[in-house]
Structure 1
C-alpha cells in the first residue's frame, strides 16, 4: 500500500510540472494544440515501449472491450488541451487547484456509487468532512 501511495504522490507531483512544461511549450511554439499533440506523441512512444516490454498481447483483447472505456482518451485530451490553453493566463497553480477540486468531486461520486467497476467507498460524514476540508483548502489557496 505504501508503495502505491508513494507512486501516486509522484504522479500528483507530475501534474503541475506537466501543466507548466506543456503551457510553456505551447507559448514558445505559438500553438497550445500543437504542444498537446507533441505531448501525446511523446506519451504514446513512452507507453508503447512499456507495452512492448510488458506484453503487447493485451492489444488482442481490445476487440471485446466495451467502447465507452475508450472515452478516457477524450478526457485526457480535454485535460491536456484545457490546461495548455488556460494555464498561461490563469496561472499553473490556479489551473491545477481547480482541476484538483474537480477530481475531489468526481472521485467521491465514482467511489460512492462504485462507477466503472471502482471499489465502493460510500460517502459518510467523516469522508464528506475530509473532502470539504480539502475543497476548503483549494478555496483558501485562491484567496491568499
Structure 2
C-alpha cells in the first residue's frame, strides 16, 4: 500500500511540472493572471461535478473550520501564479527544483515544530543532508 502512495505522489510531482509548463505557455497566450484564473475556474467546475457524485463531507462546515485551515486556497493561487511567471523566465527545471527545495525546507520545519497538526519529528542529519544536496542541485542547475 505504501508503495502505491509513493508512486501516486511521484506521479503528482510529475504532473506539477507538466502543469507548470503548460500554464507558463498559456500565460504567454492569454496573460499570467488570466492563466491562473483559468486553472482554478476549470478545476472548480471539474471538482464540483466530482463532488456531486463522490463527495462525503459537508461544505457547510467550512464556516466552522478554524480560519488558518482556509488559507490553502491563497497559497495555491500564490504557488501557481509564481510558476506561471517564473517558468517562461528561468525554465521548468529551475522553477520546479526551487519549489522542491522550498517544500523540503518548510516540511522539515513544520515536522520539527509539530506545526499545523503534524506530529513533531526532530530534524535528522539525513534530512538536513538531503536539503543541502537539493540546494546544491539548484545551484548546479542555475
User: Normalising by structure 2, what TM-score?
Assistant: 0.90
Tell me the distance in 1 between the aligned counterparts of 2:140 and 2:131.
14
Q: Aligned with 2:71: secondary structure? A: helix
Tell me the distance in 1 between the aligned counterparts of 2:119 and 2:6.
17
Instruction: Establish whether residue 128 from structure 1 lines up as the match of residue 122 from structure 2.
Output: no
2:10 is matched with: 9
2:46 is matched with: 46
Tell me the distance in 1 between the aligned counterparts of 2:132 and 2:104.
9
2:36 is matched with: 36
2:76 is matched with: 76
> C-alpha offsets along residues 78-134 of structure 1, whole Å, 9 cap, x if unaligned?
011111112111211111111111111111101111211113221022322232223
- Structure 1's consecutive aligned runs of 4 or more residues displaced over 3 angstroms after TM superposition are none
Gaps of 5+ in 1: none
Alpha-carbon shift at residue 57 of structure 1 (Å): 4.1
Gaps of 5+ in 2: none
Alpha-carbon shift at residue 8 of structure 1 (Å): 0.5
Alpha-carbon contact 1:104-1:135 (below 8 Å) kept: no
Alpha-carbon shift at residue 49 of structure 1 (Å): 2.5
Alpha-carbon shift at residue 53 of structure 1 (Å): 2.3
User: Normalising by structure 1, what TM-score?
Assistant: 0.89
Tell me the distance in 2 between the aligned counterparts of 1:15 and 1:55.
24
Alpha-carbon shift at residue 4 of structure 1 (Å): 1.0
Worse overlay, 44-53 or 96-105: 44-53
Tell me the distance in 2 between the aligned counterparts of 1:125 and 1:45.
44
Q: CA RMSD in A?
A: 1.5
Alpha-carbon contact 2:101-2:131 (below 8 Å) kept: no
Alpha-carbon shift at residue 55 of structure 1 (Å): 2.3
Worse overlay, 62-71 or 5-14: 62-71
